[in-house]
Amino acid sequence: MTAYLSTAEVEANFAVCEEADWNRLHKASQMFAGMYRMDPDDLLDRTFEAVLQGQRRCPRGGDFMKSLIFIMRSIGSNDYNLRKRQSRSSKAPLMGGDGGQDVADESPTAEEALVLSQDASAKAQAIRTILRNDAGMLAIVEHALDGLRGEELRKATGLNRREFDTKRRLIRRRFERAIRNGWKP
| pLDDT of 92 over the 60 cut | no
Give CA–CA dist 18/163, Å, rounded: 58
134-146 average pLDDT score: 81
Q: What is the pLDDT of residues 10-38, one digit of tens each?
A: 899 989 989 999 999 999 888 888 888 88
C-alpha distance from residue 53 to each of 22, 66, 83 (Å): 20, 19, 23
Say what the pLDDT of residue 113 is. 63
SS3 of 107, please? coil
Using alpha carbons, list the distances in angstroms from residue 67 to 32, 50, 75, 168. 15, 12, 12, 39
Choice between 4 and 100, residue whose per-residue pLDDT is larger: 4
Q: In the chain, what are the domain boundaries?
A: 7-88, 110-180
115 pLDDT more than 60: yes
Q: What distance in Å separates the CA atoms of residue 15 and residue 3, rounded to the nearest whole number? A: 21
